[in-house]
Amino acid sequence: MRTINLEMLRLGMSSLRLHKLRTMLTALGIIFGVAAVICMLSISETASADELRMIQLLGTQNIVINSVKPEAEIQVSRGNQQMLAYGLTYKDLKVIKETVPHLERVVPMKQVAFSVRHRDRQVETNVFGTTPEFFSTVNTHASRGRVLGPTDESRSRSVCVIGSDIGSLLFGIEDPLGQSLFVNTQNKTASYTIVGILDRVETAGTPRKGVENRNINQDVFIPFAVASKQFGDITARRSSGSREFKKIDLTTLYLAVDTTENVLAVSEVARRTMQLLHEKLDYEIVVPYRTLQLAEKKKKNSQYQLGSIAGISLLVGGIGIMNIMLATVTERTREIGVRRALGAKRRHITIQFLVETAVISMAGGLLGIILGYAGAYIIAHLYNWGDPIVKFWSIGLSFGLSVMIGVFFGMYPAMKAAQLDPIEALRNQ
């Protein structure tokens, strides 16, 4: 029995070698089908990974409340100048701390400046005052030096922590640690000593805006107490020849919830609290956990859609195999008749043709895997997504489907070949 099966395999392979071009054309449908499945699923996975990691960096147990400019601008007087007053207040911070349940901590952030300087070099950036808990809340650590500590806050020390890009932009090849930088505003300039450099935030292989809409790699952080005392609540920014004054007590509040299970309930309490405290919608509430759930659902739906579309090409490839194999049966009718006359049984003919379709499907599947990964790599780097993310299950699924489709669509031609009458087959010219 084993000898017969080996003989069937040898005959099948020999037939494929004799018709190399036809074999290659038959396998093309499977090759491109498998490549399409792997490439499309990889593109979906790689593209969505960027968004998912950005959301996860915010912290799935965090709730983020941001100050936003309301549609109806609130104007208050400041001498001869007019400025906008909106956003989060110190009262919001106090009420949320005292009334919202299941909070481990509330971390305020206050933007105070938009540029920093060292000697004659100036860099446009964002300078925030925040408490030491900020870094653990967003899971950010110092690659060198240290982050802000409780003593910096309690003693109002003029120290700062910088993002990974600030060091090279402002200091070049110099070591930033221990150096001083100047925070520039319209009214004053203050000096701060650099005590730490943050880890580089990487998302899907490239630096991204990991914390809300800010690039933490290019931010500067000073103690919250220092920011409040030295800069107050009014910021000014020059743009297009004019200056815009804004009065914002707090730029952002991070609410760290005790468990993930309580995040959605706490976000609803925070929303109702903010509605009571604000007449205008001059804030927004971001719930990374909810956003993460929606993004993951969106990713799965996208994978299902792209996988289904790519699966159609596999089906077309299977139909191509059936078409070619039916033509092969007609072409090899006399050969089949000779084999049957020499004692070959129907199952031997069936096995021989199934071997041919299985080999075509397996070879096409392997080539499709290589082509699919190459396509995913090219597209990922073309759009600066970094290395493509190819899941092993997508490789196994596409390869398994290619073999199953090849065998399934090769079954009918194989059975038709086996059912040929030997005498009629021998008469065929």
190-214 confidence digits (pLDDT tens): 899 999 999 887 543 344 444 444 5
Residue 359, in any domain of the structure: yes
The answer to the question of residue 120 being in a domain is yes
**Statement to judge: residues 38 and 106 lie in one domain:** no
CA distance 83 to 81: 7
DSSP 8-state class, residue 201? P
Q: Are residues 333 and 269 in the same domain?
A: no
Is the pLDDT confidence value at 160 over 80? yes
Last residue of some domain: 226, 259, 281?
A: 281
CB-based contacts of 104, cutoff 8 Å, min separation 6: 256, 257, 258
Whether 221 and 321 share a structural domain: no
pLDDT for 382 equals 81
259 and 352 fall within a common domain = no
Most confident of 193-202, 217-226, 243-252, 323-332: 217-226
Query: Between these two residues, 151 and 236, which has the higher pLDDT value?
Result: 151
Radius of gyration over every alpha carbon of the chain, rounded to an integer in angstroms:
33
Kindly tell me if the per-residue pLDDT of 322 is higher than 70. yes
Which domain does 233 fall in, by range?
Answer: 69-281
What's the whole-number average pLDDT of the chain?
Answer: 78
- The whole-angstrom separation of Cα 429 and Cα 423 is 12
The answer to whether residues 139 and 223 belong to one domain is yes
Q: Are strands 189-198 and 159-162 parallel, antiparallel or unpaired?
A: parallel
Angle at 211 between CA 208 and CA 217, to 5 degrees: 55
- Look at residue 63 and tell me if it is in a domain: no
Instruction: Evaluate if residue 330 carries a pLDDT over 70.
Output: no
Comparing 135-149, 182-196, 244-258, 335-349, which segment has the lowest mean pLDDT? 335-349
Q: Do 168 and 196 fall into the same domain?
A: yes
The answer to whether residue 61 sits within a structural domain is no
Average pLDDT, stretch 277-283? 89
Helices (H) and strands (E) in the chain, counts: 13, 16
Whole-prediction pTM: 0.63
CB neighbour burial string for 84-110, b if at least 16 within 10 angstroms, e if fewer: bbbbbbeebbeebeeebeebeebbbbb
Total tally of structural domains belonging to the chain: 2
Q: Is the pLDDT of residue 374 over 70?
A: yes
The last residue of a domain, from among 257, 281, 305: 281
The verdict on 29 and 85 lying in the same domain is no
105 confidence band (pLDDT: 50, 70, 90): very high
